[in-house]
Amino acid sequence: MASAFKNAGMTVVTTDTSAANLYTAPSNGQAVIHALYISNKSATNYGNVDVKITTDGGSTFYHVAKSVQIEPENTLILDKPLNLESNDIVRVVGELNSDSSQPAMEAYVAILEVT
């Protein structure tokens, strides 16, 4: 089996759809998430975020983090391994700020793929 380190990143969106998918495991293998970083770039607003993973290719998601608040100009780090099987998806969804503005957050993930 071959293995390769991968990276993925995105601007966090507020719609809980495929637009919020950060990473999908390969259809012919597995992946291990080594670390997930979510940065709040706002200097004034807190950011709330959900991190979810599916175990069936996208039908049912389970929360790894739910409504976690990130302080202004700070980063949430999830640094415990998350094992993904074929076609499992990591989704990151932000909540609108209290003033209804879009959050200013980015997500980055470090991955080991095994195919």
Q: What is the distance between the alpha carbons of residues 105 and 83, in angstroms, rounded to a whole number?
A: 24
**Helix (H), strand (E) at residue 107:** strand 105-114
> Domains of the chain: which residue ranges?
3-114
Residues contacting residue 56 through CB under 8 Å, at least 6 positions apart: none
Q: 3-114 domain in CATH 2.60.120.1110? A: yes
pTM over 0.85, yes/no: yes
pLDDT at 44: 92
5 by Cβ neighbours in 10 Å (0-12 / 13-18 / 19+) ranks as exposed
What pLDDT tens digit does each residue of the chain (115 aa) get? 799 999 999 999 999 999 999 999 999 999 999 999 999 999 999 999 999 999 887 889 999 999 999 999 999 999 999 999 999 999 999 998 877 788 899 999 999 999 8
